[in-house]
Amino acid sequence: MELLAGELVRLTEHETVSRETVRRRLAENDLKPWRKDMRCIPQVDGEYVARMEDVLDLYAEVRILVRVLA
Check residue 41 and give its pLDDT: 72
User: Does 70 lie in the same domain as 46?
Assistant: yes
Domain count, the chain: 2
Please name the helix (run of DSSP H) or strand (run of DSSP E) that holds residue 19, with its range, or none.
helix 19-28
Q: 61, 26, 19: which is closest to 5 by C-alpha?
A: 19
CA 68 – CA 45 distance, rounded (Å)? 35
* Domain enclosing residue 50, as ranges: 40-70
**Per-residue tens of pLDDT for the chain, all 70 residues:** 778 788 888 888 888 888 888 888 878 877 676 666 667 776 788 888 888 888 888 888 877 777 777 6
User: Does 46 lie in the same domain as 33?
Assistant: no
